[in-house]
Amino acid sequence: MSTVLSSSKSRCMARVQALHPVHRAPHPGFSLRALVAAMALSAPALQAIAAEASAQTLKEVTVSAGPDVSTEGTGAYTARATRTATRLDLSIKDTPQSISVVTRSQMDDFALQNVNEVLDNATGIQVERIETDRTYYSARGFDISNFQVDGLGLPFTNGGQEGDMDTALFDRVEVLRGANGLMSSTGNPSATINFVRKRPTTDFQASAGLSLGSWNNRRLDADIAGPLNAAGTLRGRLVLADQDKNSYLDRYSLHKQVLSGVLEADLAPGTRLSAGLSYQKNQPRGSMWGALPLYNTDGSATHYPVSTSTAANWSNWNTSDARSFVELAHQLDSGWQLKGVLNQRLLRSEGNLFYAYGTPDAGTGLGLYSYPSYYRSREKQTLFDVYASGPFDLAGRRHELVLGANTARSDTQQLSWYSADIGTALPSLSDWTGNYTQPAFDAYSNSASFVIRRQSVYGTARWNLSDRLKLFTGGNLTQVDSSGQNYGVQHQYAKTKALPYLGGTYALDAQHNLYASYAGIFNPQTEVGANLQPLPPIEGRNLEMGAKGEWFDRRLNASASVFRTQQNNTAEATATYVGSTLVYRTVDATSTGFELDVAGRLTPAWELSGGFTHLRIRNDSTGADARTYVPRQTLRLSTVYKLHRLPGLKLGANVRWQSQISRDQGVTDTQGREIITRQAAYALVGLMARYDFDAHWSATFNIDNLTDRKYINSLYWAQGFYGAPRNAKLSVQWRF
């Protein structure tokens, strides 16, 4: 038992050093729920306004050099084009990397209201729900570090997403698998998630929705877009959402508010100015910090009701996310486009958190201890990007070029307070009700304050070598540095790295391409080795090749690919401390595998999105399996069908399947045997039905986890908690 308990205490210390929590957002001076309700109830007036606006609206001035790739209102399960990989306007077929898109229609059909639900349905993505309000993500065996909005963003400061991220603001979510150093500069060779904003529309449109679901889940949302002047040269969009819900987990609830406004103005022919603000506030109660112990001291697996939570009654983890942007784009007669974008983001969080550590006795359930803490964090990000793209002629052929540069800065401050009652023995979780006196958090404190600066120049060219063969060459030169300290460890580095990009496509015919690509990426890290110096940067490389096809005027896309992804110098915690500083070592790993992906319209009545991933992850030094908490096979499938005999009725289903996962807990039981936690393979099935009563009113019914499967969300950490049991949701929507 001593082996298990001493390891638990070490894990607790490492966990506190790894946590980077976050300031309570100021309460808006208005009731967002009341505003959403007022918008929803004003449908007749909105229809009258729409009729007048539509009569006066002129045709929208087009700035983009490429096609309109908005998925909103199309019913499509794929996108016609994407810029995520190269900034060039390319179809998915003509992009020499693996890309999947979760469209607005798929989000609406299956009520995918936050980023976790969206990425649950994306090919090759693993959503690691480690706590109620913090999530990590992986692809091709490695952690995803880059979330972008409209192609711009900075890597996660804390390694994952804190708080719920709503999808009401986005037209689609693009998933680029593999390294993306060309456009992201820094990160991991796993995937880049690009959230594409909803934009103002040329014609007036409005919608409002109400949904009710299991565990008292209530949501109101509204969305209005259209011209703001008679000429149609000024357009706007306003999106609002307000959600209150309880949970299958004991004591957990969430109140979420979302607000976004975007304006677009045509300043002159070919010149467009856009600006926008968005704000999301999450107020959860009963937040879990850490999760359930997964094994007993005798090595046996723990078993709890699905609703079991380690949270105290007073636990919370409030977060807010405020974003703003200004964008100026100009289209030249030559086909060249110039664009500059300034993004700012302010992240705040505040947590009164309660962590239960230790290993329970199989008979009594005793053996857990308290670790209450208070955290506050503020992070401000500023990013400016400017680029030019367009065609040029050489050797009798027309080619395409992108040249750009960006600069970014991130300022982070974190404060942590602890109480004197750390280590108080807790009752068995079967008797735990969350009753624990909230401490004063005045025993001692720790902090972090650091700045990260990044400057990059990048370029890529698409060489039209023949009618069939296209070659992509490019590169990114990035300089990144940091100064400050992070919980007693110096947060200092200065690195410069040149990242190459090489790709090619070969057209077998008008619908089918072969492709191959090589891309690199790097990511500085501040974890220290035994010499208390920062470890070298993570370096990632991705090589892939495959075949792609598109049919029905780009309404159906499919791909098959094989890949080899290598990530070197990844920090891995040891059990060694120098003073109070946890020592890390570097680990190199390689994943190989293949992916199949299909999305789009099979018939005018049938939409489909699905993918299968098979991979193998090896430790380069030992040859042993690595990251066994990542499933080696995953299947994602969503489909809907409109019934001809019952006009207005749409039926659908989705399936998420993954193979077995496991975790070597790094400790032994009372008999000296290694403890390994396993989660067997499982499938989650969902159903949906939608009925359009007329052109304006519709109702959608969703059921998730139809078979009521019990499963552990993730083995990313030594602890875990159960996924949601069977649940349902009914939504009513009005559109104009």
258: which residues sit within 8 A by CB, 6+ positions away? Answer: 32, 166, 168, 169, 221, 239, 240, 241, 242, 278, 279, 280
For residue 220, give the amino acid letter.
L
Confidence at residue 32, expressed as pLDDT on a 0 to 100 scale: 53
pLDDT-derived band at 573, boundaries 50, 70, 90:
confident
Nearest to 175 by CA among 202, 194, 147: 194
Judge whether residue 2 has pLDDT over 90. Answer: no
What burial class does residue 317 get, using C-beta atoms within 10 Å of its C-beta: 0-12 exposed, 13-18 middle, 19+ buried? buried
Confidence at residue 61, expressed as pLDDT on a 0 to 100 scale: 32
Q: Is 40 helix (H, G, I), strand (E, B) or coil?
A: helix
Confidence at residue 33, expressed as pLDDT on a 0 to 100 scale: 56
Helix and strand numbers (H, E) in the chain are: 6, 35
Contact 421, 444 (CB under 8 A): no
In angstroms, the CA 285 to CA 648 distance is 40
Judge whether residue 19 has pLDDT over 70. Answer: no
* pLDDT tens, residue by residue, 170-223: 999 999 999 998 999 899 999 999 999 999 999 999 999 999 999 999 999 999
Structure-block tokens of residue 514: 């072969």
Judge whether residue 156 has pLDDT over 90. Answer: no
Confidence at residue 46, expressed as pLDDT on a 0 to 100 scale: 42
Q: Is 106 helix (H, G, I), strand (E, B) or coil?
A: helix
Mean pLDDT of the chain: 91
Give the helix ranges, DSSP H, for 1-114: 2-18, 32-41, 43-56, 104-109
718: which residues sit within 8 A by CB, 6+ positions away? Answer: 11, 294, 663, 665, 666, 677
* pLDDT tens, residue by residue, 664-718: 998 999 899 999 999 999 999 999 999 999 999 999 999 999 999 999 999 999 9
Confidence at residue 30, expressed as pLDDT on a 0 to 100 scale: 39
Q: Which is more confidently placed, 446 or 506?
A: 506
Confidence at residue 667, expressed as pLDDT on a 0 to 100 scale: 92
In the predicted model, what is the mean pLDDT of residues 501-514?
98
Confidence at residue 655, expressed as pLDDT on a 0 to 100 scale: 98
Confidence at residue 486, expressed as pLDDT on a 0 to 100 scale: 87
Judge whether residue 528 has pLDDT over 60. Answer: yes
pLDDT-derived band at 244, boundaries 50, 70, 90:
very high
Confidence at residue 489, expressed as pLDDT on a 0 to 100 scale: 83
Structure-block tokens of residue 719: 């602890």
Cα dihedral 14, 17, 19, 24, rounded to 10, equals 150
Structure-block tokens of residue 73: 């209102």
In angstroms, the CA 605 to CA 646 distance is 12
In the predicted model, what is the mean pLDDT of residues 377-388?
97
In the predicted model, what is the mean pLDDT of residues 110-122?
97
* pTM (two decimals): 0.91
Confidence at residue 552, expressed as pLDDT on a 0 to 100 scale: 94
- DSSP states of 476-516 as a string? EEEEEEEEEEETTEE--EEEEEEEEEEEEEEESSSSEEEEE
Domains of the chain, with CATH numbers? 2-735 (2.40.170.20)
